[in-house]
Structure 1
């Protein structure tokens, strides 16, 4: 989670001024805030997250302690495939994260029959990935969402408007879920070959092979 520090600073002679820091990771913000408090001159110090919610020092310490035992440093790869002839879609996502000092990978795919286009399948894959994040209890964190769909990445990132009603429905569902989880999304477009794992999961779903599971990633393997 990224935060800003806000406080009132009072000099030895009693002159006061309000300060607001630049945005920074919560851990770095805690180090700076603790240093400010040691001066004895910082008053009413709070942390403000990306949703303009305020956190006290005690609340932020509790959050940072909890992060150690919850998924963090989360990166999501997603992809959707669509067969025009059968109207069958395959969805795939691979989620990389850290927890308790160890790296993990979750993989999930699914077959869907009622979608109408490849773009809709891409959106459905992203929504499936967000649902998996909810299952992992990922919340109040920045998360990187990586895909090869220019439409989804640019529309969800705010670069392009969402005009099609079918896609707007998916975009609204995704935004609503992300907001409820307090997730700060960062969207990144990559070439198709760079998204091979999620693409393979989507293809396997369309071929009838179900993949679902989480493993600890062992360095060197």
Structure 2
């Protein structure tokens, strides 16, 4: 979860002003906010998440303690590829998350012969990521879904309408799963180069190479 710190600063001579920080990870905000309070110049302080929910430091500390043993700080990269010559698709997703103070990466791909377009494959790849999140028991958390498909990102974020029936069905299916898991989605559009991991997994699936892997990432 990312939050903004809002606080009222009181000068020695009594002047006051309300200040806001930039958005930052909740754990970083907690450290900074506690340090700010120790100065004795903070009259009131709270944090605001992306859903405009206010958090006291006590509430934020309890939340971070509660989720530490569960996957959190989650980003899902997804990509789908469609071969027009064979009407076959490859799906790929990469999930980065933290758990028990350690960073992890999960990779998964899947083959499909039931999709009809590249846009469908992109939707299906994002849904594959959702299925993996469910298997990780992710729920009631914000998740960033990151891909290079303008159609998927803009339709799911509400920027573009989903006029094609098959794509609208995928969007509804994804929204229903998000609601079931109480996941608050953020959608981020990136370049194909930035999405190379998920793209490679999708290509490997098209070539009949199954990939399933979970590893702890080494911090540099």
Same fold per TM (> 0.5)? yes
| 2:166 match | 166
| 1:153 match | 153
Summarize deviations over 1:76-134 as a string: whole Å, max 9, x none: 21111112233221100111222222221100011112111110000000111122122
1:49 Cα deviation after fit? 4.9
Alpha-carbon distance in 1 for matches of 2:102, 2:35: 30
- TM-score when normalising by structure 1: 0.74
| 2:130 match | 130
1:182 counterpart = 2:178: no
Farther-moved stretch of structure 1 (65-74 vs 194-203) = 65-74
1:209 Cα deviation after fit? 1.4
1:71 Cα deviation after fit? 2.1
| 2:15 match | none
Q: Return 5+ residue gaps in structure 1 as ranges.
A: 8-18
Q: 1:182 to 1:59 in 2, by over 3 A?
A: farther
1:72 Cα deviation after fit? 2.5
Q: Return 5+ residue gaps in structure 2 as ranges.
A: 8-17
| 1:70 match | 70
Alpha-carbon distance in 2 for matches of 1:4, 1:78: 28
- Secondary structure at the residue paired with 2:85? coil
| 1:200 match | 200
Summarize deviations over 1:149-187 as a string: whole Å, max 9, x none: 221122223322211111111112222323433333131
| 1:213 match | 213
Alpha-carbon distance in 2 for matches of 1:194, 1:32: 31
- State the number of aligned residues: 216
The 5 Å alignment of 1:74-153 reads 74-138=74-138, 139-145=140-146, 147-153=147-153
RMSD: 3.6
1:29 Cα deviation after fit? 5.8
Alpha-carbon distance in 1 for matches of 2:149, 2:106: 21
Alpha-carbon distance in 2 for matches of 1:189, 1:172: 23
Alpha-carbon distance in 2 for matches of 1:134, 1:204: 24
Farther-moved stretch of structure 1 (115-124 vs 95-104) = 95-104
| Matched-pair contact (CA < 8 Å) for 1:77–1:93 | yes
- Secondary structure at the residue paired with 1:70? coil
Q: 1:160 to 1:189 in 2, by over 3 A?
A: farther
- TM-score when normalising by structure 2: 0.74
Alpha-carbon distance in 2 for matches of 1:195, 1:48: 30
- Secondary structure at the residue paired with 2:195? helix
